[in-house]
Amino acid sequence: MTTSYYHYTPFDFFLYLGMAFNGRFLMNMAFLASRNGANINDLVAITGKSFDELSEETCVVDNLTYNAVIELAVQETKDEFFGLHAGENLNLAAAGLIVQLAQTSETIKQAIELCCEFANLGCSALPMKLSKKEHYEIILTPDELWKNQSQIAFQHTAEGVIAFTIKEFHSLTRMKHYPIAVHLPWSRPSNIMEYERVFGCKVHFNKDEIAILLDKKFVDQPVVTSNYNLLNILVSHAQEKSAAINNSLGFSSIVKHSLINLIKPEFPSIDQVAGHLNISTRTLQRKLKEEGTTFKQIINDLRLDFAKSYLKQQELQISEIAYLLSYSDASAFNRSFKSWTGKTPNEYRMAINS
């Protein structure tokens, strides 16, 4: 039996809270898909929300809902470069507060840093940071659970965010300054011309990171539209909105991501998770009860999420998946999975691949 498994590296507290997508961001992606053959009503219906609800500044949708919308958008548009084209054509105003922060910053560097800090206002499963090496690098670090749930949504979203970031970079510099290069972790496709057209630079595949490399002389430039007083107001507003998003996800979300961090590959005990969060086991149980859930329920929810991801990988046998999910044997996993979905793991695998 193979012992290979996904290893989830530690996230800081901010990233624990990152599994949500802004409704307005998703709606704009849906509108862009509708211009190329997708049915906007079908895409919005997946969210279970109205157009007005998605337009609200505080609206968020969970990662599974977001994934389903993006997957359908790619399917209906038949556009293998949907993410690239979405990011390229997304109106800057659609990013709302994030773009306002950038436009009022003192320098390009400060603008990028603020966009990274408040990335969760738009797409918080793909946080960004600015790193200074030989060049400035904007590093995109996806939430591992989200990434493994849908490679399609992950790749198209990452490519869209890069395209949109380059578009905003053009706006800030008032000139079409392109990156030095873009790094992507997936395999090099047969046709890279569209990547190079949209990104305006060389694109290197099979890298260990998702990154945009920028020339220092452009990043250190001032922003023409800077406004110190307005920037302070906008930063304060962004902090409030970011906190509201984090708080809306609740304590159970923190516990879930702590569990992910502690998987080695067996699931940790409740005592281990409580210790990781520096609280007592009784306090953890009480806080979860206040949110209407239990530690066992969160474990089962995670097992189901992981199981669905693993079942997409044809090379993994059912017995191996059972091992990865800390089951004593395949039959125990089969019973649990059927109780959750009404299908055995093999039936589910056949259904998703039919």
- The mean per-residue pLDDT over the stretch 60-70 comes to 87
Q: List residues bridging with 140 in a β-sheet.
A: 128, 210
- The mean per-residue pLDDT over the stretch 188-195 comes to 93
Q: Residue 11 has what pLDDT?
A: 28
Q: Residue 186 in 3-state DSSP?
A: coil
Name which CATH class applies to 263-352. Answer: mainly alpha
In tens, the pLDDT along 261-314 reads 677 667 888 998 888 777 889 989 998 998 899 999 988 888 888 888 888 878
Q: C-alpha angle with apex 320: 317 to 323, nearest 5 degrees?
A: 155
Q: What is the DSSP letter of 21?
A: E
| pLDDT category of residue 8 using cuts at 50, 70 and 90 | very low
Domain with CATH 3.90.1520 in the chain: 13-240
The one-letter amino acid code at 10 reads P
Number of helices followed by number of strands (H, E) in the chain: 19, 7
Phi, psi torsion values for 127, nearest 5 degrees: -65, 155
In tens, the pLDDT along 233-262 reads 766 766 666 666 555 567 787 787 777 767
The one-letter amino acid code at 236 reads S
Domain with CATH 1.10.10.60 in the chain: 263-352
Residues 6+ apart with CB under 8 A from 265: 3, 5, 6, 7, 323, 324, 326
Q: Residue 7 has what pLDDT?
A: 31
Residue 34 has pLDDT above 50, yes or no: yes
Contact between 35 and 43 (Cβ < 8 Å): no
- The mean per-residue pLDDT over the stretch 202-226 comes to 90
Residues 6+ apart with CB under 8 A from 271: 281
Is omega for the bond preceding 142 within 30 degrees of 0, making it cis?
no
Q: What is the DSSP string of 218-243?
A: HHTSBPTT--HHHHHHHHHHHHHHHH
Q: How far apart are the first and last CA of the chain?
A: 27
Whole-angstrom Cα distance, residue 8 to residue 99? 31
Residues 6+ apart with CB under 8 A from 180: 135, 201, 202, 213, 214, 215
Residue with tokens 């430039």: 221
> If we measure between CA atoms, which residue out of 250, 269, 350, 267 comes closest to residue 306?
267
Q: List residues bridging with 214 in a β-sheet.
A: 136
Q: Residue 124 has what pLDDT?
A: 67
Lowest mean pLDDT among 7-11, 177-181, 263-267: 7-11
Q: Residue 251 has what pLDDT?
A: 77
Q: Residue 2 has what pLDDT?
A: 34
What percent of the chain lies above the pLDDT cut of 90?
34
Domain 13-240 has CATH 2.60.40: no
